[in-house]
Chain A
Amino acid sequence: MIGTPSLLKPYDEYYSGDPAFAQAPPLASREQLAEHEHRVKVARETGDWSPLAVEGVQPTKFTMKPLRGQQYRRIVDDLLASRIGRGEANSLAFRCAVLEIVNFGAFEMKFVETEKWGKIASVDVSNAIDAIDLRIVTELGEEALRRAQDISPKSSRD
């Protein structure tokens, strides 16, 4: 079951640097990088990653839920008050949003109940992903925050 991008329900998300997706060529020019970034943006908006898919390689799938307004505001408040840095904000957003990870080896999701954020993924989850590549949580956390703040993607982003 594919979970298309959603504002109301859980959806599927992918890390753009996953080896299952085509990458910008090494020593890419600025134009080539911009072109590649645009292809990733389109894949994320449409939920169709097939134009970037590398044949025979399965990507790691992250099932995420939209951040609640309260979670988003608390992250932004903590960030603006310098209680947390940008990196931790992304990690928190990721942990608040992630529900399931598929095709990530022998990995088991763990959740913790917190007073401030509600039920969120344990820090062990983000640590396990960080052990592979720190950019995964950063990108997916940033994306979760962007979805929560950018309610009109076709009028303000481009």
Chain B
Amino acid sequence: MQAIDRQTRRSMRCGYEAPPYPPGLAWCHPGVKAPPGFPSTCVGYTIRLPQVMEIARARRHWEHGQLETFAGGPVDEAPLLLIEVFDAAVHELETWLMTPPEKRT
């Protein structure tokens, strides 16, 4: 990250750089149908956030019915919703990958 100059990082909406950012959005994978205004922050920053990594890990356990074991107790609805959102995004990307390149939208 430090090898990239500050102006470029700002245009990528690096989370370490303070807003206001230049107009536009952060990069988004072409296989994801992002809602308006999303993503607001560089994915490189976002995927390294502990809470994002935690939800990605939690999904692995959720898939096998072991979420409560992973969490050490009952899980509230807010993290469950995030796991479902994450799971939907993963399936969206998998569908994109399985789609022949000429048919990808």
Do A and B share a complex? yes
Chain B hits for A59, CB < 8 A? none
Closest to A4 in B: B50
Give A8 to B38 CA distance when docked, in angstroms.
Answer: 24
Q: Please tell me which one of the listed residues B16, B49, B72, B85 contacts residue A9 in the complex, with CB atoms under 8 A apart.
A: B72
State which residues 8-55 of A face B: CB under 8 Å: 8-9, 34-35, 38-39, 42, 45-47
CA distance A83 to B62 in the complex (A): 38
User: Known contacts being A45-B15, A152-B82, is A69 close to B77, with CB within 8 Å?
Assistant: yes
Size of the A side of the interface (Cβ < 8 Å), in residues, is 25
User: Among residues 58 to 100 in chain B, which have CB atoms less than 8 Å away from a CB atom of chain A?
Assistant: 58, 70-72, 75-79, 81-82, 85
Q: Which residues of B contact A4 (CB under 8 A)?
A: 50
CB nearest neighbor in B for A67: B76
- Which residues of B have CB within 8 Å of A154? 15, 39-41, 46, 49, 52
Tell me whether B24 is interfacial, beta carbon within 8 Å.
no
Determine whether the beta carbon of A8 is less than 8 Å from that of B50. no
Asked whether any CB of chain B lies closer than 8 Å to the CB of A7, the reply is yes
Are A5 and B81 in contact (CB-based, < 8 A)? no
Name which residue of chain A comes closest to B55, CB basis.
Answer: A7
Q: B76 touching A68 by the CB < 8 A rule?
A: yes
Residues on A with C-beta less than 8 A from B54 are 6-8
Whether B48 lies near A7 (C-beta < 8 A) is no
Q: Out of A9, A35, A45, name the residue touching B71 (CB < 8 Å).
A: A9
A66 within 8 A of B: yes
- A108 sits at the interface (CB 8 A): no
A46 neighbours in B (Cβ, 8 Å): 48-50
Is A158 an interface residue when CB atoms closer than 8 A count as contact? yes
Q: How far is the CA of A158 from the CA of B49 in the complex (A)?
A: 15
Contact of A69 among B48, B49, B78 (CB under 8 A): B78
B30 at interface by CB-CB < 8 Å: no
B37: interface (CB < 8 Å): yes
Q: Which residue of B lies closest to A31 (CB)?
A: B18
A125 at the interface (CB under 8 A from B): no
How far, in whole Å, are A34 and B78 apart by their CA atoms in the complex? Answer: 29
A7 contacts B79, CB within 8 Å? yes
Q: Which residues of A line the B interface, CB within 8 A?
A: 4-9, 34-35, 38-39, 42, 45-47, 66, 68-69, 148, 151-155, 157-158
Question: Would you give 8 A-B contacts (Cβ < 8 Å), ordered by A?
Answer: A8-B58, A34-B18, A38-B17, A153-B49, A154-B41, A154-B46, A154-B52, A158-B41
